[in-house]
């Protein structure tokens, strides 16, 4: 008996003060049950409400629209997969696909290599670290429209700085907007200018988590810096590489603002659509031609492109890192 009495209060001592607020009455019990069970759902409900309204609903309706034929007069007609078969036979759509993929490759490959090089440099002991990192990230703050405005002027045929530089080393001026490859190059540099520093900072963060002992051991074994970079840094960066590449894939395949601004705010992408991307194609079909079904079908095909592109890149990176 006495034992029980003694041990009871000492183990239960913290309990009484804790009940101070919640003295059990039936209403209170219900309220606390409500608080425990319902509160989590209440807390996430704003997000999922928005998700339903501006995520699920438009996605579903895009699918729905893509099965109908809209025309300027306002008539709507069921066409089944008609929009898709028409798109797949539409040379304008394929032109946009080729442009998008071309600019994606021209922009992304050098961008990732440069970002790795830059991250490696940022990882060294340097003075004014914060200043350097701010400098590297400066382009990210600049809006795409601003970037495109400035670069479009720099690439101007007659008074552009780049043509002036080319001219001073004896190269004929290039009409950057008129031809396919020059326009792709010009647009790719806008993308790379904006994103290389950002990717470098992401790589840098991952590089700093690699244990330094690995490098020290490799250095003692006589591995050169270059070898250390390829055999330690690159394989250890694999997860980050996947993140960066997937990010670039989504961003690259949905390219819109740079090429649009490059052509003075017009979604046609040059006189022969030589730099019209799929996103621009969708806007042109949906909001210039008011062919909503066609635009919606193109949006789903774009999504398919992104899925396939992400998958290919994912497998590619896994192989590169795995082979060592």
Partner 1 sequence: MTTLSAPAETRKPRAKRAGGSDLWKATPLTRIVLIVTIVVSAFPLYWMVVIASRSNHEATDIPPPFLPGGNLGQNIQRVLANEDAHYLAGLTNSVIIASTVTISVVLISTFAGFAFARLRFKGGRILLLLVLVTMMVPLQQMGMVPLYRMMVSLEWIGTLKAVILPYLLNGFGVFLMTQYTEQAVPNELVEAARVDGASTLRIWWNVILPAVRPGMAVLGINTFMLTWNDFLWPLIVLTPDNPTVQVAINSLNAKYGTDYVLIFSGTALSVLPLIVVFVVFGRQIIGGLMEGAVKA
Binding of residue 47 to partner 1 (CB under 8 A)? yes
Listed ranges 77-85, 92-100, 103-111, 215-223: which one lies at the site for partner 1 (CB under 8 A):
215-223
Shortest CA distance to 59 belongs to which of 303, 291, 284? 303
Residue ranges in 243-282 that form contacts with partner 1 under rule CB under 8 A? 243, 246, 250, 253-254, 256-257, 260-261, 264-266, 279, 282
Residue ranges in 94-123 that form contacts with partner 1 under rule CB under 8 A? 117-118, 121-123
Residue 191: both structure tokens together: 């993308």
Q: Which residues contact 79 (CB under 8 A, 6 or more apart)?
A: 67, 68, 69, 293
Q: Quick one: which H or E segment has residue 273?
A: none
Which is closer to partner 1, CB of 6 or CB of 94?
Answer: 94
3 state DSSP class of 148: helix
122 Cα distance to chain centroid? 23
Residue ranges in 217-236 that form contacts with partner 1 under rule CB under 8 A? 219-220, 222, 225, 228
Residue 126: both structure tokens together: 């340097």
φ/ψ (deg, to 5) at 230: -80, -30
Residue ranges in 162-201 that form contacts with partner 1 under rule CB under 8 A? 164, 193, 197-198, 201
Contact 247, 108 (CB under 8 A): no
Q: How far is the CB of 240 from partner 1 (least distance, A)?
A: 7
Residue ranges in 8-37 that form contacts with partner 1 under rule CB under 8 A? 18-22, 32, 35-37
Q: How far is the CB of 3 from partner 1 (least distance, A)?
A: 27
Residue ranges in 283-322 that form contacts with partner 1 under rule CB under 8 A? 283, 286-287, 292, 295-296, 299-300, 302-303, 306, 310
How many residues form the binding site for partner 1 (CB under 8 A)?
108
3 state DSSP class of 322: helix
From candidates 6, 113, 181, 216, binder to partner 1 by CB under 8 A: 216
Residue 29: both structure tokens together: 């019990």
Residue 232: both structure tokens together: 């330690």
């Amino acid at each position: 008996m006495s034992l029980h009495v003694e041990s009871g209060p000492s183990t239960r001592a913290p309990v009484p003060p804790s009940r101070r607020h919640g003295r059990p009455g039936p209403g209170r019990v219900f309220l606390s049950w409500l608080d425990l069970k319902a509160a989590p759902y209440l807390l996430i409900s704003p997000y999922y409400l928005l998700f339903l309204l501006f995520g699920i609903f438009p996605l579903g309706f895009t699918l729905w629209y893509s099965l109908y034929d809209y025309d300027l007069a306002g008539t709507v007609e069921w066409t089944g997969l008609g929009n898709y078969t028409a798109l797949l036979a539409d040379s304008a759509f394929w032109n946009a696909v080729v442009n998008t993929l071309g600019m994606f490759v021209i922009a992304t490959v050098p961008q990732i290599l440069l970002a790795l090089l830059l991250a490696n440099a940022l990882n060294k002991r340097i003075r004014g670290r914060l200043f350097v990192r701010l400098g590297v990230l400066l382009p990210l703050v600049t809006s795409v429209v601003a970037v495109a405005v400035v670069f479009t002027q720099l690439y101007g045929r007659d008074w552009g700085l780049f043509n002036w530089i080319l001219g001073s080393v004896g190269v004929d001026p290039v009409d950057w907007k008129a031809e396919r490859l020059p326009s792709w190059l010009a647009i790719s540099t806008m993308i790379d200018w904006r994103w290389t520093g950002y990717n470098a900072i992401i790589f840098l963060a991952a590089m700093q988590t690699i244990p330094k002992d690995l490098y020290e051991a490799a250095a003692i074994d006589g591995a050169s810096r270059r070898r250390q970079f390829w055999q330690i840094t690159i394989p250890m960066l694999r997860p980050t590489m996947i993140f960066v590449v997937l990010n670039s894939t989504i961003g690259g395949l949905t390219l819109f603002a740079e090429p649009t601004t490059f052509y003075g705010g017009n979604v046609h992408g040059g006189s022969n659509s030589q730099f019209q991307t799929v996103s621009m194609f969708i806007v042109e079909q949906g909001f210039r031609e008011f062919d909503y079904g066609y635009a919606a079908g193109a949006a789903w095909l774009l999504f398919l492109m992104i899925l396939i592109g992400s998958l290919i890149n994912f497998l590619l990176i896994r192989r590169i890192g795995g082979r060592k």
